[in-house]
Amino acid sequence: MNRPIVVAMTGGSGVSYGCRLVEVLLQHGRAVHFTISPAATQVLQHEMGRTVDLDDFQTEVLWPESAVSFESLDYYHYQDYFTPMASGSFLTDGMVICPCSGATLSATAHGASRNLIERAAEVHLKESRKLILVQRETPLSLTAIENMRLAKLAGATILPAMPAWYHGDQSIEGLIDFIVARILDQLDVEHNLIRRWGEND
């Protein structure tokens, strides 16, 4: 039986990756527990022109043109610890932070747990569940590299938003789907978003 997948968006560039990830998970019939940081709303405004109200969250704002049903999406406020994902007793098939800012990477590596996103990340690490960090920064400071090392040692998967260009579709949508496909692979969600290396046209 499939369990929900936790998706959190934080204030890294590339919020489009997170939006597409949620859409594809729902398309594949997966339940999503979703949360988003205040910094991510700033990036959403800047990069996608979407004005998200964290206290009155509406899926139509984040996914205005999507044909997907959002019935299986549960939204949780980033300061609300009275939520399933805040506890290890709530079973999931993993958590993805996409995009993952340097700030949230740092907090995750050090177990800061200052908000629901960081708490849920800590829970996934302590329960030895999948935690995928889609980090977006370049160049990398030694601090960021050390934080990635720590998070990796603690059990996280570091999956930088670093699309390859070899898979045939170099449109923006194709490059976004390349990263989403690699996340789905980590989550063991079957998909045909991209042509795999070695597959024929």
Interacting residues with ligand FMN (CB under 6 A): 10-13, 37, 39-40, 42-43, 46, 101-104, 136-137
Reported in sequence order, the residue ranges of 114-155 that DSSP labels E, i.e. its strands, are: 131-135
- Kindly state the smallest distance separating residue 66's Cβ from ligand FMN, in Å: 23
Which of 31, 103 has the CB closer to ligand FMN? 103
Which of 43, 181 has the CB closer to ligand FMN? 43
Task: Report how far residue 64's alpha carbon sits from residue 165's, in angstroms, rounded to the nearest whole number.
Answer: 28
Give counts: helices (H), strands (E), the chain. Answer: 7, 6
Spell out the residues 6+ positions from residue 53 whose beta carbon is closer than 8 angstroms to its own.
61
Spell out the residues 6+ positions from residue 194 whose beta carbon is closer than 8 angstroms to its own.
167, 169, 174, 177, 178, 181
- Kindly state the smallest distance separating residue 132's Cβ from ligand FMN, in Å: 16
- Kindly state the smallest distance separating residue 97's Cβ from ligand FMN, in Å: 9
Task: Report how far residue 61's alpha carbon sits from residue 53's, in angstroms, rounded to the nearest whole number.
Answer: 9
Which of 86, 103 has the CB closer to ligand FMN? 103
- Kindly state the smallest distance separating residue 168's Cβ from ligand FMN, in Å: 27
Closest residue to ligand FMN, judged by C-beta, is 11
Which of 4, 102 has the CB closer to ligand FMN? 102
**Looking up tokens 């039986």, which residue turns up?**
1
